[in-house]
Structure 1
Amino acid sequence: MFDLVFNTLFFASYSNAYGLANVALGPYDILLDYIVTIIVSIVVALILRIPLLPSKPYRYSFDVSAIYPTPIIAIGIFSIFLVLNYTFMYNGLILAVIIGVLSALFVKYLFDFVFPKPLNGDEREDI
Structure 2
Amino acid sequence: MFDLVDSTIFFASYGNVFGLDNIAISSFDILLAYIVAILVAILVALALKIPLLPSKPYRYSFDVSAIYPTPIIAIGILSIFLVLNYTFVYNGLVLAAVIGVLSALFVKYLFYLVFPKPLDEDNGEGIDE
Band of TM-score, shorter chain: 0.7 to 0.9
Q: Note the residue ranges of structure 1 that are not aligned, 5 or more in a row.
A: 1-5, 17-23
Query: Residue 21 of structure 1 corresponds to which residue in structure 2?
Result: none
Q: Note the residue ranges of structure 2 that are not aligned, 5 or more in a row.
A: 1-16
User: Following TM superposition, by how much is the alpha carbon of 1:124 offset from its aligned partner in structure 2, in angstroms?
Assistant: 1.9
Distance in 2 (CA, whole Å) between partners of 1:103 and 1:122 is 33
TM-score, normalised with respect to structure 2: 0.80
Query: Residue 98 of structure 1 corresponds to which residue in structure 2?
Result: 98
Distance in 1 (CA, whole Å) between partners of 2:74 and 2:123 is 32
Report SS of the residue matched to 1:55: coil
1:46-65 to structure 2, matched below 5 A, reads: 46-65=46-65
Report SS of the residue matched to 1:86: coil
User: Following TM superposition, by how much is the alpha carbon of 1:123 offset from its aligned partner in structure 2, in angstroms?
Assistant: 2.0
Identity of aligned residues (%): 73
TM-score, normalised with respect to structure 1: 0.82
Distance in 2 (CA, whole Å) between partners of 1:115 and 1:98 is 22
Q: Indicate how the Cα distance of structure 1 residues 70 and 58 shifts in structure 2: closer, same or farther if over 3 A, else same.
A: same
User: Following TM superposition, by how much is the alpha carbon of 1:97 offset from its aligned partner in structure 2, in angstroms?
Assistant: 0.2
